[in-house]
Amino acid sequence: MYSGDYFLQIIEGNDEEILKLYGNILSDDRHDHLVEIITTQIPNRYFSKFGMSYIDIRCKNKTDLISNISELRDKNENSPYYDRILRIISAFHDGLWRNDEFYFKKEIYFSEIHVNIGSPDISFYKGKLGYKFSVQPILNTIGNNISSYEFLLRSHEGGSPQQCFASLYAQDIYEFDLVSKKNAFEWASRFVSGSTKISINLLPMTLVKIPDLTKILVDYLSIFNLHPENIIIEITEEEAISRIEEFTNTIKQLRVAGFGIAIDDFGAGFAGLSLITKFQPEIIKIDRLIVNKIYQDGPRQMIVKSVVNLCRPLGIEIVAEGIEEIEEWIWLKNAGVNLFQGFLFSKPSIGDDLKINFPKSTSFTRL
């Protein structure tokens, strides 16, 4: 089906053939901005009578279009899949999937800047775990400024946060999660300034298990002349939060003290939407599994659009994490996301030189 600008294609066949054909379409430069809307399994084919059929939807109202398609199909009994295909076609006719997130990529320039961030001290927890932090910036690519620096835990030898936690006794994890932030604040106080925020990560259960968390964080901050207003606390939704009452209580205390709250890895776990019914964060960070190749993935595009629609009226800002490709950034920017984090712009740095690539976004043309 052709709308003048966009094609909607329905391809039927066995898995192997379809994958091969789709692969060919993807790599054919006569096609641009290809998006996979749905892939599904069906009991038998619906349009096997025709090798290929083409419908120009511009000269058709929806009723005619649907009856046209019904004439093309093999069987007449209804099936849930067939009804769904008709609903997708009808949505396409209404203009869905024909939006303007698609821009031709002309030349995108990056300007590389270097920030001297000094180097982190190494601290020790209970004498057994040496740790420090690495730093990755979150950029506002509209204003071309650094919105925040996120402090990511590392072991003495540069190991991952997971490795740090795994080397501890279970009962020590939450205390360590909290006390390690003193080290992050110390380093941050040496190079973060102005309206740029400092982002730290805490496990949800750290908020539950340590009742005087707010006071302890405020005490750490005061040592380094920092204020809760400088801090964004990122909370992952990766684990289900038990004891939700204690959790929301701590969130309230953190808010009273002036901290900003972000829900991290939104869309990856299972608690995201229900968390928003409990409290509304200042920031939602969309997980990189959703971001990955979003420009080709219809269902994930619709998830991001609904997250944007959900956040705007609630005054929640959105960060897209894990941006690795220019195309991901362009799509998300045009869908209304302003804040970005990812290797495309800057990799986490363990000290001294932090390299940041700011994109120059002026050279797009509308399709």
Instruction: State the nearest-atom distance from the C-beta of 210 to ligand C2E, in Å.
Output: 12
Q: How wide is the angle at C-alpha 204 spanned by C-alphas 201 and 207, nearest 5°?
A: 95
Instruction: Return the amino acid letter for 107.
Output: E
177 binds Mn ion (CB under 5 A): no
Exactly one of 101, 188, 192, 234 binds Mn ion (CB under 5 A); which one? 234
Task: Give yes or no for residue 264 binding Mn ion (CB under 5 A).
Answer: yes
**Least separation, in Å, of the C-beta of 236 and ligand C2E?**
5
Taking the least distance from each CB to ligand C2E, the nearer of 90 and 123 is 123
| Contact (Cβ atoms closer than 8 angstroms) between residue 228 and residue 218 | yes
Q: Are the CB atoms for 345 and 320 separated by under 8 Å?
A: no
Nearer to ligand C2E, 129 or 152 (CB): 152
Closest approach, Cβ 272 to Mn ion, in A, equals 12
* Residue 1 one-letter amino acid: M
- Residue closer to Mn ion by CB (options 38, 289) is 289
**Nearer CB in complex with Mn ion: 201/206:** 201
Residue in 131, 152, 134 with CA at minimum distance from that of residue 353: 134
DSSP secondary structure string for all residues of 260-316: EEEEEEETTSS-HHHHHHH---SEEEE-HHHHTTGGGBHHHHHHHHHHHHHHHHHT-
Residue among 94, 93, 106, 191 nearest 151 (CA) = 191
Binding interface with ligand C2E (CB under 6 A): 136, 152-153, 160-161, 177, 180, 201-203, 234, 236, 264-265, 288, 321-324, 341-343, 348
Backbone φ and ψ for 110, nearest 5 degrees, come out as: -115, 140
Q: How far apart are CA 61 and CA 89, in angstroms?
A: 12
**Stretch of 8-16, 40-48, 91-99, 317-325 lying at the interface with Mn ion (CB under 5 A):** 317-325
Instruction: Specify the stretch interacting with Mn ion by CB under 5 A; choose among 53-61, 124-132, 319-327, 350-358.
Output: 319-327
Q: Is 359 in a helix, a strand, or coil? A: strand
337 binds, among ligand C2E, Mn ion, none (CB under 5 to 8 A by kind): none
CB of 267 to ligand C2E, least distance (A): 12
Q: Which residues bind Mn ion (CB under 5 A)?
A: 201, 234, 264-265, 321
